[in-house]
Each structure stands twice: as structure tokens, then as C-alpha cells.
Amino acid sequence: QVLLVESGGGSVQAGGSLRLSCAVSRLPSRTYCMGWFRQAPGKEREGVAGISSDGRIVFEDSVKGRFTIWQDVAKNNLYLQMVSLKPEDTAMYYCAARPFFYCDSSRLINPSTYDTWGQGTQVTVSS
């Protein structure tokens, strides 16, 4: 069973930065998708950034140029660096994984692709 534990959330002012981490217990396959998602109160969960086991990366349009996603392959941990944060980035952020699955780019930030989720970490950006 894959376990995901997020950390690194917090409260920052607009323009600030945060780095989210997702500790991954193990990935049972070399083919997988991983991603970061967020959900604000009253809104649907949306994809922020995704990365595939073969190195493809996709970002949601509103975060392009501000967010970076990468993976520590040795540890399987996943990271999201967020800079130039805006109040509209405020949300609960979730790490997700889908082992044994090849994600084409259209699926990397689609929540329905993923079957394993962390508990989330809150990000609050004040103006």
C-alpha cells in the first residue's frame, strides 16, 4: 500500500514562497503518475502539477512560471516549490499517486486519474 504524507503548508503573505513535501512510503512500480492538487472551500479539487515516471511534467495554467514540481527518485518523495504566491492559491493541497499506470499528459493533473491521496496540507495566502 502506498502512503502519502504532505508537509510544508502554512500562512504567508502575497508574494511569498512555500515548499510542499510529500513523503512516499513506497512506489510498487516503475511506471506511475504523481501530482499535486488543491481544493478551496466550496470548489472542486483541481490539478496543480503532475509528473510521470518517464519525466513528463504538466502545470495548471495559473501556476505556470510560479510553481515547480520535482521528485527525489531515490526516496520517491515529491516536492512542490511555490513562489509569488497569490491569495487565490489559498487551498488545501494534496499529494496523489497512481502506480502501475502510464499517464499521458492530459491525465497528469486530472484528479480522476489518481487512486491514492495524502491527507493534505493547508496553504493560506493573505493579501
What is the identity of the amino acid at 76?
Answer: N
Task: Find the largest Cα–Cα distance for the chain.
Answer: 42
pLDDT at 83: 98
Phi, psi of 63 (to 5 degrees): -110, -5
| Spatial distance between the Cα atoms of 88 and 99, rounded to a whole number of angstroms | 31
Output helix, strand, coil percentages for the chain, rounded to the nearest 5. Answer: 5, 50, 45
pLDDT by position in tens, the chain (length 127): 889 999 999 999 999 999 999 999 887 888 889 999 999 999 999 999 999 999 999 999 999 999 999 998 777 799 999 999 999 999 999 999 998 888 989 899 999 999 999 999 999 999 9
pLDDT at 71: 93
Cα separations in angstroms, 33 against 10, 24, 84, 96: 26, 13, 26, 8
| Spatial distance between the Cα atoms of 86 and 15, rounded to a whole number of angstroms | 6
Q: Extract the C-alpha cell encoding 80.
A: 512542490
DSSP 77: E
DSSP 63: G
For the beta carbon of residue 120, count every other beta carbon within 10 angstroms. Answer: 17
Residue with cell 497528469: 108
